[in-house]
Amino acid sequence: MPEVIDYKKYLDPALVSKLKSLDLKAKAVVEGFMVGLHKSPYHGFSVEFTQHRAYQQGDPIKDIDWKVYGKSEKFFIKQYEEETNLICHVLIDNSKSMDFKNKGDVTKLEYSHVLSASLIYLLLQQQDSVGLTIYSDMIENYIPPKSSNVHLKTLLTSIAKSESLNKTNTADCLVKAIENIKRRGLVILISDFFDDIESTLTSLKKIHFKKNEIILFQILDPIEKSFAFGRDAVFKDLETEEEMTSQPYQIQKAYQEAFNEFLNKLKNQSLRYNIDYNLILTTDSYDKALMNFYKKRKMLY
């Protein structure tokens, strides 16, 4: 009997956070995601995604991918096309508000780093070209799109070394990022979107009008959505360091109504312009975001 692989453990933020390097974290998440695809109703998709196809009678045995067989107990043939399919720009909000967690295992920024690294890993496996923009209230780092194994190391190293800085100015940074988008492709933006939502949406529309596909991942700590503190608390703005004492249980309902209005505005305005919107909590399994991305990428071809 072959060993049964518990792929879900590789998708749990709490367990993944215990791995040492971002490279190991991305590999673990991608491996868990791909094994999960083989076990899900989308198992057929994974053949295309990993550049494999089902084994057919007459195919050379030497081309069988035995690693895939060990995970899925199915025969797949490696394919060797070198074609670059897509140009993708990954943008990560690196502002101080992202460096928050309540009592969970990862901050919003740590979750964003693993998610972005996993997306980059998947895209480069497909021979897609990937560029990276890390920003706060300015562009902190920009790496032009390329497609190579060496480029993967460059991107992951840049993400791993980045630390939360400054306030947020997503709108202005998006305008500057547009200058680096020379050809239409896919733009992935990962942020908590704690910013001026109208200005951010205006900048997103400009990217959309240049015929780019856009995916938004809004990363939140569960407490930011529920506001379920339940006792007196001191709140500190991570970007301005201002503090305020409050009784959360007294304002929880009003907070939730205002916050849901904020979320719905971002979601509805995004969908109006065919921008994919995804709300992701830092306790969510990574495959939730990866599956949404994967379905979007499949639609582009």
Phi, psi of 155 (to 5 degrees): -65, -45
pLDDT reported for residue 105: 82
Beta strand 87-93 pairing with 186-191: parallel
Domain ranges for the chain: 7-78, 87-299
User: Which of 138, 141, 139, 119 has its CA nearest to residue 128?
Assistant: 119
Confirm whether pTM is higher than 0.95: no
Residue position matching structure tokens 């970007």: 239
User: Which of 33, 170, 184, 165 has its CA nearest to residue 91?
Assistant: 170
| DSSP letters for the chain | -PPPP-GGGGG-HHHHTTSSSHHHHHHHHHHHHHHHHHHSTTHHHHHHHTTEEE--TTS-GGGB-HHHHHHHSS-EEE--------EEEEEEE-SGGGS--SSSSS-HHHHHHHHHHHHHHHHHHTT-EEEEEEESSSEEEEEEEE-SHHHHHHHHHHHHH----S---HHHHHHHHHTT--S--EEEEEE---S-HHHHHHHHHHHHHTT-EEEEEEEE-HHHHH----S-EEEE-TTT--EEEE-HHHHHHHHHHHHHHHHHHHHHHHHHTT-EEEEEETTS-HHHHHHHHHHHHHHT-
For residue 35, give Cα distances in angstroms to 57, 65, 215, 294: 24, 14, 24, 14
Query: Would you say 283 and 13 are in contact if contact means Cβ atoms under 8 Å apart?
Result: yes
Structure tokens at 217: 């991942």
Specify the CATH number of the domain 87-299: 3.40.50.410
Beta strand 276-281 pairing with 243-246: unpaired
pLDDT by residue, tens only, the chain of 301 residues: 344 456 678 899 999 999 999 999 999 999 899 887 766 544 444 434 445 667 776 677 777 878 777 777 777 776 544 444 789 999 999 999 999 988 778 999 999 999 999 999 999 988 899 999 999 999 999 999 998 889 999 999 999 999 888 899 999 999 999 999 988 999 999 999 999 999 999 999 999 999 999 999 999 999 888 776 666 555 555 566 666 565 555 677 888 889 999 999 999 999 999 999 999 999 999 999 999 998 887 777 6
Q: Which amino acid is at 96?
A: K
Query: Would you say 208 and 275 are in contact if contact means Cβ atoms under 8 Å apart?
Result: yes
pLDDT reported for residue 53: 63
Structure tokens at 128: 């897609």
- Distance between CA atoms of residues 233 and 251, nearest Å: 12
